[in-house]
Amino acid sequence: MTTNIKYTFKDFASDQDVRWCPGCDDYVILRSIQKALPEIGRKKEDIVFISGIGCSSRFPYYMDNYGMHSIHGRAAAIATGTKLSNPDLSVWVTSGDGDSMAIGGNHFIHAIRRNIDLNYILFNNEIYGLTKGQFSPTSLLGQKTKSSPYGNVQAPFNPGELAIGAQGKFFARAAGNDAKLQVELYKAADNHKGTALVEILQNCVIFNDGAYNDISDKSVKADAQLVVEHGKPMIFGKDKNKGIILDGMKLKVATIGENGVKESDILVHDAHEPDPSLHLALINMKAPVVMGVIRAAKDKTLVDREKEATEYAKKFNPIKSFEELLFSGETYEV
């Protein structure tokens, strides 16, 4: 339900001291969500944050909404029950790469498959933070961590690719230090009907510091990131002269004005396209790393389909009340 009350970000801040490490990108995420919520315009009491275990999962304590800090990996399953029970709520999941893709992998993919209307914020720092530095399902091959002193031997997931494989309809990505883009993505996620996965490339200052430096650092950002927008050409770079073109079946970076490439040759982003092929190619690009709303395809949500099934039962099931049910079928008198 929308509201006429004019909130500011302070209305969403709880009285609890925030206990993340100084300099952690989690502060940026927290503030960006607190800034996005007044713009989203839902009533405070209708917003719920549910989390699992990990640094990211402390999030609900810092919000002045309803919230649950649950157990490791299960936030998506709990949030599914909450949303099914009250579809009017705006239900948010805050979770990390370990919480979502290791211990909670099953719930993660099934929530996406069902297209339950959740805003799922994935804090991806490519490491286990709260247990002090083990490799996670997104850690790079060869990465040295406390549990991989000779280099990680387990190949990583790409969360967006996993989401597409699980029939994901919404995927967006932002750098952990990019507050401005994050605010836009959280608004877009809440506006989307269905599971909206937002991956934040979040820097862990203690156990994996600098993991995203070559993407997020101010000095390289313009050339290392392409921020896509629906309906706009995929142009990036310091000089706004680089863009994405289709080369056979593959995406390729081209420079406008070089080799006869004109601005009209640059692909225009279509986030609404149901076929995920091009979205997947964008998700998997390494240089530049694609940010923004990469995919936002319309589909019915789990709640929509549940409602249809209930309507069907209402119409065709001859038993209309519990009392009728008790006395339905064969009964006899003694």
Partner 1 sequence: MSTEALQKNRQDLDHVVIRFVGDSGDGMQLTGTQFSTSAALLGNDIATFPNYPSEIRAPQGSLYGVSGFQVNIGATEINTPGDDLDLLVAMNPAALKMNVKDLKPGQMVLVDSDAFSRTNLQKAKYESNPLEDGSLSNYNVVAVPMTKLTREALKDTGLDSKSMTRSKNMFALGMLYWLYSKDPKHTEAFLQKKFKNKPQVVDANMKALKAGYHFADTLELMPTHYVIGPAEKEKGTYRIIMGNQATAWGLMAAAQKSGLELFLGSYPITPATDILHELVKWRHLNVTTFQAEDEIAGISSSIGASFAGKLAATSTSGPGLALKGEALGLAVMLEIPLVVVNVQRGGPSTGMPTKTEQADLMQAMYGRNGESPLIIVAAKSPADSYDMAFMAAKLSLEHMTPVILLTDGYIGNGSEPWRIKKLDEMPEIKHRRVTEYQEDFHPYVRDKKTLARPWAIPGTPGLEHVIGGLEKDKIDGHVSQDPVNHEEMVKLRADKVRKVKDYIPALETEFDQEGDLLVVGWGGTYGSLKTTVRKYKEQNPDAKVGLAHFSYINPLPHGVADTFSKFKQIIVPELNAGQFADLLRMTYPQFKYNKYDKIQGLPIGSEELIKEFNKILKAE
Q: List binders of partner 1 among 39-58 (CB under 8 A).
A: 43-50, 53
Q: Considering only residues 28, 40, 89, 188, which one is a binding residue for partner 1 as defined by CB under 8 A?
A: 89
Closest approach, Cβ 128 to partner 1, in A, equals 18
In the complex with partner 1, the residue whose CB is nearer, 36 or 174, is: 36
Q: Which residue of 86, 154, 191, 213 would you call a contact of partner 1, by CB under 8 A?
A: 86
Point out which residues pair with 292 in neighbouring strands.
173, 228
CA distance 198 to 200: 6
The set of residues, in sequence order, having a beta carbon less than 8 Å from that of 100 and lying 6+ positions away, is 52, 73, 76, 108, 120, 122, 159
d(CA 155, CA 325): 54
Number of CB atoms found within 10 A of residue 71's CB? 15
Residue 71 binds partner 1 (CB under 8 A):
yes
Distance separating alpha carbons of residues 204 and 274, to the nearest angstrom: 35
The DSSP element (H or E) to which 291 belongs, if any, is strand 289-296
Sign of torsion over alpha carbons 105, 84, 57, 215: positive
Q: How far apart are CA 275 and CA 166, in angstroms?
A: 13
Measured from the CB atom, the residue of 103 and 294 that comes closer to partner 1 is 103
Beta bridge partners of 227: 291
Per CB under 8 A, does 318 bind partner 1?
no
Closest approach of Cβ 304 to partner 1, in Å?
A: 14
Identify the residue among 31, 107, 192, 279 touching partner 1 (CB under 8 A).
Answer: 107
For partner 1, the closer of residues 48 and 297 by Cβ is: 48
Per-residue interface string for the shown chain with partner 1, residues 4-23, x marking contact by CB under 8 A:
----------x-x-------
Nearer to partner 1, 74 or 242 (CB): 74
- Based on the shown chain and the rule CB under 8 A, indicate whether residue 27 belongs to the binding site for partner 1: no
Q: Which residues bind partner 1 (CB under 8 A)?
A: 14, 16, 43-50, 53, 60-61, 63-71, 74, 77-86, 88-89, 106-107, 110, 306, 309-310, 313-314, 317, 319-323, 325-327, 329-334
